[in-house]
Structure 1
Amino acid sequence: MSFPSSLRYLCAAVALCAGASLWAGEVEVLHYWTSGGEAKSVAELKGMMALRGHSWKDFTVTGGGGQNAMAVLKQRVLAGNAPAAANIKGPAIQEWAELNVLTSLDAMASFERWDEVLPKVVADQMKYKGRYVAVPVNVHRVNWLWANSAVLKKAGVASLPKTYDEFFAAADKIKAAGFVPVAHGGQDWQDFTVFETVVLGVGGAAFYDKALVKLDRAALASDEMRKSLEVFRRIKAYTDDKSPGRDWNVTTEMVINGKAGFQFMGDWAKGEFLAVGQTPGKDFTCSAAPGTEKAYTFNVDSFAMFQLKSWEAQKAQGYLAYLLMGKDFQEKFNLRKGSIPVRLNMPMDKFDECAKTSSKDFVTTSASGTLVPSVAHGMALSSSQQASMRSAVSEFWNNDKLTVNETLSKLLAVSAPKQK
């Protein structure tokens, strides 16, 4: 991340207007955009690169999902054969930067004024020691509560719950009407998605940040955390017995098909509703989960940019970074993905009502300090801490004999490595 690297990016930024073919190079990109609207967005991005003479090469690794890809990526990077960019997010960006293999994007960021168009909490995740090394492309809101409008009407639930007292009252009505109150897929990441949303609703954004992001021991052992675990366990009683191991999209189908009333899930669930022609505000509703109306847990997809040897490859890489943060791509990509642009104050005319609400709340919470990273989706903790936290929470969800005190002790154990 030397000055010459930044200078080259400044040259690339200035050259964006030139469009000269002499800057043509290849970008190799590790990504997971392989289905539906995501794949169409990649095709469009490739086309935009091609207009400048640049070629695109997919970095593909079969089997094992992201874990295999990261292992192969590390081998290649350490061997001096890094791709131009890789889909990496959260604290993992810092872990890669510590290996001194990422390039500085500061000149590009300054030229395009990224600090002015990104919330500080998001911008900070894209930086290492104050310098940009990654590019964010979207924002998913995690703390959503989805509902089937017809089920709520049949159950006599007149309004969406704003508190957990209201939520459980509504769940009782849905159960009495013969529906599953809460659709849930019993996988550890889904368990933790519900848990972190409950913590946010019970304790608020400041408590969430202290307990789940900073792993403050006093917060982890507090009455608020105890109450969060009690509410979390109470929710389980409203799920069905086929929940264990069920995928999130199959779970969303329960709400879509009118078999269940509610689902706690990020806004990627919205794509499932829209794919079958349902309309937000009519067939289904989206609202902030109980107690979280003034807070926002975010999951940001981003691309870390690696140091490259070839001048032509560096120029292509610089143009890719420019495109990813550009208004045009941010709008087109997020319209297809169900997320919203990470750039603040983007026009939202073409987006649906849920996205407009998400965007409005994203701007508001970024200003109020209640925009917080999703722990469940890899935005806050190291991979080992996240795995330990998920395990403790999922075990509590699945084992009714496990006490709140025992789980509090396990959560405290996760924080132990951070103590001096």
Structure 2
Amino acid sequence: MKFRAIMGALCAAGLMCGAASAQAAESLSVLHWWTSGGESKAVGVLKDDMQKQGYVWKDFAVAGGAGAAAMTALKTQVISGNAPSAAQIKGPLIQEWAEQGVLVPIDSVTGDWKANLPPQIDKIIQADGHYVAAPFSVHRVNWVWINKAALDKVGAKPPTTWAEFFTVADKLKAAGIQPVAAGGQPWQDLTLWEDVVLSQGADFYKKAIVDLDQKTLTSQQMVGVFDTVRKIESYMDNGRTGRDWNLATAMVINGKAAMQFMGDWAKGEFANAGKQPGKDYICAPVPATEKAFTFNVDSFVFFQQKDQKAATPGQLALAKTIMTPAFQEQFSLYKGSIPVRLGVPMDRFDDCGKRAYADEQVAIKAGGYVPSLAHGMAQRDATAGAITDVVTKFMNSTQDSKSAVEALARAAKTK
């Protein structure tokens, strides 16, 4: 009893317990869609860091690649007055939530962020001049993941042009190897399509996907994009409908297929399976996109909590932790990404990570650093959704490329 009395007096005097007890009392409800093996290990780093700081982590993981199910769950929570402390959101959707007046600024912990972020990303995580989101890492979307043994079997090298790609695919098919592993989900269809758009050049990509330029969208070059997508599709298996992306990655890992078009979160799956780049698999830029970099940046935004207009201590601590060099490094090592924070040492990263970082720096300087449409970075939901519907319809029907382009031009006008 005397011990309790002494501790109570010290706490009352502010000599002990103040910050610690406040932190221990705060729970952080965190909504995200990181549920695959590599992703779970990555988010576990943040969970452990926050628990060490005395906060209670309440995990709200919603399965489903690209986060469509998670966004539906988030809307339900916010409408019901039970918004999470933080939620995984990216791209223009950050601005949409900010416009609803439900986010809190985190400016007090962002002192060195502007100097340590690519300008294109620094802009995305702000609203009305205030930081409202903390970015985790940068994923490069325009990768092809290749089973090295399959490539060696047919005596081929990673293709750098579409002509080379189709030659390699034909050799694999003749050898009884499934050339392309894919999942038949809309966001995966759009990932492939935007890869092919990027292969036409960064300027073409920006005009088509960022500017939604009607002349570019209806060009003969865009018809060629759909033609190329159709040909790539012919090398996929018939069982792809509804397949999750990580199951397609597993096909490449296990040698059931040779190649997959997917962002570098796929690397986390290879690492989780104990595979090594250069030995077991190869990471190569999508043909004709070597000097470009389609970026996908995951961020946490911070929601107003009940009876709180400003960010809570836990929310600020979470934001600050996310942008520390140590966390940025360890998170990306598990996730397959590279740190969004510039200047983080790359010594511990594998060859794929080092190449991604080197290519990122080249793309930033050369104007080839562009936002991914398929992963919520380039357009708001309504426009992105309409374009996705066009691409998915095309890939799941016998529609011709010319009529697909006409539908694309109409979809781009969706607001």
Interval containing the TM-score (normalised by the shorter chain): 0.7 to 0.9
Instruction: Tell me the equivalent position of 1:65.
Output: 69
238-247 or 185-194, larger mean C-alpha shift: 238-247
Return the alpha-carbon distance in structure 2 between the equivalents of residues 245 and 47 of structure 1. 33
Structure 1-normalised TM-score? 0.86
389-398 or 306-315, larger mean C-alpha shift: 306-315
Q: Once the 2 structures are TM-superposed, how far is the Cα of residue 41 of structure 1 from its aligned partner?
A: 4.4
Query: How many aligned positions are there?
Result: 392
Instruction: Tell me the equivalent position of 1:54.
Output: 55
Q: Does the 8 Å contact 1:38/1:333 carry over to 2? A: no
Letter in structure 1 aligned against 2:74: M
Return the alpha-carbon distance in structure 2 between the equivalents of residues 183 and 36 of structure 1. 19
Instruction: Tell me the equivalent position of 1:75.
Output: 79
1:410 aligns with 2:395: no
Match of 1:273, SS state, is helix
Q: State which of 234, 243, 258 in structure 2 corresponds to 1:246.
A: 243
Return the alpha-carbon distance in structure 1 between the equivalents of residues 226 and 388 of structure 2. 13
1:289 aligns with 2:269: no
Q: Does the 8 Å contact 1:345/1:363 carry over to 2? A: no
Instruction: Tell me the equivalent position of 1:118.
Output: 117
Letter in structure 2 aligned against 1:122: I
Instruction: Tell me the equivalent position of 1:225.
Output: 222
Seen in structure 2, the aligned counterparts of structure 1 residues 376 and 41 have a Cα distance that, compared at 3 Å, is closer
Instruction: Tell me the equivalent position of 2:366.
Output: 368
Return the alpha-carbon distance in structure 1 between the equivalents of residues 213 and 238 of structure 2. 35
Instruction: Tell me the equivalent position of 1:353.
Output: 351
CA deviation vs aligned residue, 1:302-337 (integer Å, no higher than 9, x gap): 111123445996222111110011111111111111
Seen in structure 2, the aligned counterparts of structure 1 residues 95 and 148 have a Cα distance that, compared at 3 Å, is same
RMSD: 2.4
Q: Once the 2 structures are TM-superposed, how far is the Cα of residue 50 of structure 1 from its aligned partner?
A: 3.9
Instruction: Tell me the equivalent position of 1:328.
Output: 326
CA deviation vs aligned residue, 1:98-132 (integer Å, no higher than 9, x gap): 012212223322x2x11111111111111113321
Structure 2-normalised TM-score? 0.87
Return the alpha-carbon distance in structure 1 between the equivalents of residues 405 and 310 of structure 2. 54
Return the alpha-carbon distance in structure 2 between the equivalents of residues 255 and 84 of structure 1. 37
Q: State which of 303, 306, 328 in structure 2 corresponds to 1:306.
A: 303
Q: Once the 2 structures are TM-superposed, how far is the Cα of residue 28 of structure 1 from its aligned partner?
A: 2.8
Match of 1:301, SS state, is strand
Match of 1:300, SS state, is strand
Q: Does the 8 Å contact 1:344/1:363 carry over to 2? A: no
1:272 aligns with 2:273: no
Q: Once the 2 structures are TM-superposed, how far is the Cα of residue 240 of structure 1 from its aligned partner?
A: 2.3
Instruction: Tell me the equivalent position of 1:7.
Output: none
Q: Once the 2 structures are TM-superposed, how far is the Cα of residue 232 of structure 1 from its aligned partner?
A: 1.0
Query: 1:150-229, aligned counterparts within 5 Å?
Result: 150-157=149-156, 159-201=157-199, 203-229=200-226
Instruction: Tell me the equivalent position of 1:135.
Output: 134
Letter in structure 1 aligned against 2:301: A
Match of 1:250, SS state, is helix
Query: 1:5-24, aligned counterparts within 5 Å?
Result: 20-21=19-20, 24=23
Q: Does the 8 Å contact 2:34/2:61 carry over to 1? A: no
Percent identity of paired positions between Structure 1 and Structure 2: 48
CA deviation vs aligned residue, 1:241-286 (integer Å, no higher than 9, x gap): 3233332222223222223222111112222222222211111100
Seen in structure 2, the aligned counterparts of structure 1 residues 293 and 91 have a Cα distance that, compared at 3 Å, is same
Seen in structure 2, the aligned counterparts of structure 1 residues 73 and 206 have a Cα distance that, compared at 3 Å, is farther
Q: Once the 2 structures are TM-superposed, how far is the Cα of residue 342 of structure 1 from its aligned partner?
A: 0.8
